[in-house]
Amino acid sequence: MPNDFNQQIIDEFRANEGRVGGMFEGSPLVLLTTKGARSGRPTTTPVMYLRDDDRVVVIASNAGADNNPAWYHNLRANPEVTAEIGTETFEAEAVVIEGEERDRLYARMVEIAPGFAEYEAKTDRRIPVVALERSTA
C-alpha cells in the first residue's frame, strides 16, 4: 500500500492525465507498478523518468538513502512491470543498466533534475539505473 504522500501524487496523476502540482510540477513522472518480491501484491510508486529512444529510464535513487527503494527490490525479483505515463498504460520489462551506459543515463537525469547529483553525493551505494522496455506481446 503506498504511503499517503505517494497516494496523493498517484490520485492527482490519474485525475489530471499524468500532470501533478507541488514539488513534482512539470517533472516527467511515471507510475511504476511492481509485484512485491515476497508478497506478490502490486504496488504503485510515482517515479521521475527520462526517455532514451523507445525506453523509459528510471533511477532508484531513494533520495540518496543508503538503501535501494522497495520498488527496485520488487522489480529485481519480478521484472515484469506496468507503467503509466500521461493517459497511457503499458507493460514493460525492467532491465538494470550497467557500466558506461548507466553513467550516461544518470548524467542525463542530472541534467533534467539536478537533485539527482545531490542524491548520488549523499550515499556510498551505486544508484541503480533501470530501463523499462515495452513488452511486445
| Residue 83 cell numbers, joined | 507503467
Beta bridge partners of 31: 46, 84
Non-local (6+) Cβ contacts of 43 within 8 A are 1, 2, 33, 34, 35, 36, 70, 71, 74
Please determine, for residue 65, whether its predicted confidence score (pLDDT) is greater than 60: yes
Distance CA 48, CA 29 (A): 4
Beta bridge partners of 57: 50, 131
Q: Residue 47 has what pLDDT?
A: 96
Express each pLDDT in 66-86 by its tens digit: 999 999 999 999 999 999 999
Give the number of residues written for the chain. Answer: 137
Average pLDDT, the chain: 94
Q: Binning pLDDT at 50, 70 and 90, where does residue 49 land?
A: very high
Closest to 63 (Cα-Cα) out of 7, 137, 12, 113: 113
What is the pTM (predicted TM-score) of this model? 0.93
Q: Binning pLDDT at 50, 70 and 90, where does residue 110 land?
A: very high
Q: Residue 23 has what pLDDT?
A: 87
Distance CA 42, CA 107 (A): 30
Express each pLDDT in 112-131 by its tens digit: 999 999 999 999 999 999 99
Q: Binning pLDDT at 50, 70 and 90, where does residue 5 land?
A: confident
Q: What are phi and psi of 41, to 5 degrees?
A: -80, 140
